[in-house]
Amino acid sequence: MDLQTAERRVKDLQNLLNQYNYEYHFLDKPSVPDSEYDQMLRELIELEAEFPELKFEDSPTQRVGGDILEMFTKVEHRSPMLSLGNAFGEKDLRDFDRRIRQAVGDDFSYVCELKIDGLAVSLKYTDGLFVQGATRGDGTIGEDITSNLKTIRSLPLRLKDPVTIEVRGEAFMPKRSFEKLNEGRLKKDEEPFANPRNAAAGSLRQLDPKIAASRNLDVFLYGIADVGETGVQSHSDGLDLLEQLGFRTNKERRKTSDIEGVIEYVNGWVEKRANLPYDIDGIVIKVDSLEQQKSLGTTAKSPRWAVAYKFPAEEVVTTLKTIELSVGRTGVITPTAILEPVRVAGTTVQRASLHNEDLIREKDIKLGDQVVVKKAGDIIPEVVNVLTERRTGEEIEFKMPTHCPACESDLVRLEGEVALRCINPKCPAQIQEGLIHFVSRTAMNIDGLGERVVSQLFAEKLIKDVADLYKLTKEQLLGLERMGEKSVTNLLKAIENSKVNSLEKLVFGLGIRHVGAKAAKTLAQEFETMDRLMEADQEQLTAVNEIGEKMAEAVSTYFSNEEVRSLINELKTAGVNMEYKGPKPINAAQSDSVFAGKTIVLTGKLEQLTRGEAQEQIEALGGKVSGSVSKKTDLVIAGEEAGSKLAKAETLGIEVWNEARMLEELNQ
């Protein structure tokens, strides 16, 4: 590339990166995935290295952070908050290691830490008291966000020792808090945050600290700005001191003596990171000795003794090839994007949910589009947006069908619904999905009858409805592909065991519209037998607590169908239990339990009981278990890692118990 061509490309890259920097840091609304930004930045770094005369002070490669927001008081950092250089693969890590060894020899150690995807903050303590917190800003001057940082529960307002110190860390939003926040925003018709990082940044930039308090942020501390007279001689010693003072540090760090240990640590977290309760976007590797850090020094932008390994981007660009349609057990037609295979967060993605026709129209999705794909919650692939500027004119508009793709029946859109639906009760796709639901863990819980086996049985015409499951023979199953003697014996035993389930499991498994697991249990408790439930009219059904008119109508209509009544008789003949076996709820007025008449919320991880077991025992004593905290909540029982529900309860002044207190009262 000649100088003139390079100059044009450098200017283009600088303009784009400045725009993306502004969107990401100032607006908290990035328009491109991290992978594209990183690729452009790396290209600019390489061009500036090849053509030094094109490297200027205002280049994005020289920036440390974003612009300062005027709404907060400016704070000058005592020592600069530098950003880290990036490594994008094993070669970059080995190059970093080579440079370190050339400078300090072979006698040194690394500390590897998870790179939390949040907002870098600096915290000042005077005589052990928290006096000021600030964002990184441009690295030299940040924003005073003290009031908002005080709302973070894991951040100590007073240290265990009365020291004067400035420390550095990363404020972030846990995944659970992020999901809860976006659920609330969607209910209010507000735009959801794109990711936890943006949500954390937006929360800490709120002028009203109450908003930050409601979002349940967290913080990990990762360093001391100036060790001064602390006596600390290494980074790892500094982390230990932070813990002694009462700060929260990340426990997943590792100290290693060579680059092989670093690479092993990095590779381990590429796959494991999805299991963390917070987002990480890489691994930070630091030389441990502070004396060696000092000798290595820094550039204008970043320290030479540290590097940030960047994971493969969680948002990537690929081509949407076509849209596939599936039919659910209730007849809903769901569109799914079929993508050019692409790696997202460590796995290959070829399909992504599109939910319904309205979403396709809203995002202006066409066949052949270049789209940005991410994993919602690091698990479920979804199409984030379309790169309309890349369209060639050959893209094709997608139109939802007028007939069911499985049975050719007319599709309808029921009043008040966004989904198209097939209402043919004999639709084979609906029947198969209904069978898969019937055997699922939350319904009849028939172990060994997964989606693959059910599909195989249905395709071989061995089952056409749920009653046929109880007519299967050993000879029939042994004739199927990949079904050996042991697996067939275990499957038949699981089918037989399911016959003794309590009535609510069967009611839920039948897949009655609008009837979830909780409503199924309520109905089973109230009517006690299948016969009584089938004979109940709408008036009797709506008289049951928590059973509304829509659900009552659905139940009544379902059991008035002669085919359904015939199915129930077949299940009876097969020996399937038709009675409720659980405890009958005690009327609150007749119970002397502390739970009687109270609305109770369970949150966090319980050790002695499952949530289902705890709910069953509480309800048997006259209590009502709810899924959300409100002013009507009387009591919250909080297990380990309780999140936003606990925070809301404390805000509302609601009584909170731990699991031990709950068990003490249950045992009485």
* Chain centre to alpha carbon of residue 443: 25
Q: Is 115 part of the annotated catalytic residue set?
A: yes
Q: Give me the sign of the Cα torsion angle 189, 519, 329, 381.
A: positive
Q: Which of 517, 615, 515 is nearest to 555 (CA)?
A: 515
Q: Is 493 helix (H, G, I), strand (E, B) or coil?
A: helix
| CB-CB contact of 81 with 142 (8 Å) | yes
- Determine the length of the chain: 668
With 0-12 / 13-18 / 19 or more C-beta atoms within 10 angstroms meaning exposed / middle / buried, residue 244 is: exposed
Residues 6+ apart with CB under 8 A from 20: 30, 31, 32, 37, 40
| CB-CB contact of 231 with 290 (8 Å) | no
Q: Which of 87, 77, 90 is nearest to 141 (CA)?
A: 77
Two structure tokens written together for 585: 């709820």
DSSP, res 639: -
344-364 per-residue burial string, b: 16 or more CB within 10 A, e: under 16: bbbeebeebebebbeebeeee
Residue of 115, 175, 521, 648 with catalytic role: 115
Provide the 10 A C-beta neighbour count for residue 166. 19
**Residue 427 amino acid letter:** C
* One-character DSSP codes across 544-576: STT--HHHHHHHHHHHT-HHHHHHHHHHHHTT-
Distance CA 360, CA 345 (A): 24
Q: Are strands 110-116 and 254-256 parallel, antiparallel or unpaired?
A: antiparallel
Catalytic machinery residues? 115
